Amino acid sequence: MVSVEETTARDAAIEQIAAKLGVRAERGKRFAELTSLRVGGAIDWVLSPQTEEQAAALVHELEQKEIAWRPLGSGSNVLADDGAHHYVILSVKDLKADPVFSGARVSVSAGYSLPRLCIDSGRHGLSGIEGLSGIPGTVGGALWMNAGAFGQEIGTVVETVRVARAGCVVEIPGSEVKWNYRHTSFREGELLLGATLVLHPGDAEDIRARMEEAKGQRLATQPHGARSAGCFFKNPPASALGTGKMIDDLGMKGTRRGGAVVSPKHANFIVTEGDDARAEDALALAEEIRERVKREHGIDLEYEVELWSSQSEPGADRGPRAGSPRGVVDATGLTPDRNDYDSKKKE
């Protein structure tokens, strides 16, 4: 239990750091305001740096004072519980300077919208990420989890990644990162600030047409406009069936627990409804899904969403890249050949 005196001293230190660096500091926010599921408890502090350099300095100052923090982009891949979260949220949403195009290269900051980047690249006649245009969230979140869709993954086009280290912006080669299915080798405590991508020339109209085709498939198979975090579970690598298909075959579409429901349109989406929806509703429903899939298929589903607990400091529970990462969390990937099971291909 943290004493009142310790909390007061920590809050004073946070205020001093924010003032020193000129960072916007906010109190009284809730995860229900900052995440796409629109559920989650109170947050002690939200700090919003405006530049990559400011973000790197901020992380360094917080860690020097041993103040726990977590980064957050658009919050489209996070389920934070209903408790009070006694740590700093470092919002990267303001790290959104216009991308810089140079030939086939594009340099972009972590807070820039991933769909917007896909559109910008297409207009420059650059291909390689148009399949990601429907993934909600920021570039940083996409990098952290190696977001992918329609046969493309962002990790395949990354030349360098900019990270915060010892108060500075440091560039590391993309080849040093292990880019796996919805997972990378970025470690706990590493804040992603931006990246340089190398795309390849293509016809702008062809690229736009592919984005429109992908959009049509998403609208046909996913709950458009609903309060969701995208696909809730990863596809099991050893299974020929996608997770959505397995859940659908169990007859769980429309299953409800409180204000959370399995989407009638895509069974790997949990959506929240109403003002009384709580994070515990979504988690209870998710655990019920996992139990039934385990019982029927012998498969332990792995969460694709990030579960954030108010009962432990960031990273204190399970180590590097486990349940409480610090990269930039918010982008949800989709692998249509197994998740879009409603398509004719899987019927």
Residues marked as catalytic:
182, 231, 304
Among candidate residues 34, 31, 79, the one with its CA nearest the CA of residue 287: 79
Distance CA(228)–CA(247), nearest Å, equals 17
Using CA atoms, how far residue 265 sits from 107, 199, 252, 323, in Å, is: 37, 34, 11, 28
Do the Cβ atoms of 255 and 323 come closer than 8 Å? no
Rg for the chain (alpha carbons), in Å?
Answer: 20
Helix-helix angle 4-21:52-64, to 10 degrees:
150
End-to-end CA distance of the chain: 54
Q: What is the DSSP letter of 329?
A: B
Closest CA to 138 of 108, 110, 158, 98: 110
In our burial notation (b when 16+ CB lie closer than 10 A, e otherwise), range 90-119 reads bbbbbbbeebebeebebbbbbbbbbbbbbb
d(CA 195, CA 289): 36
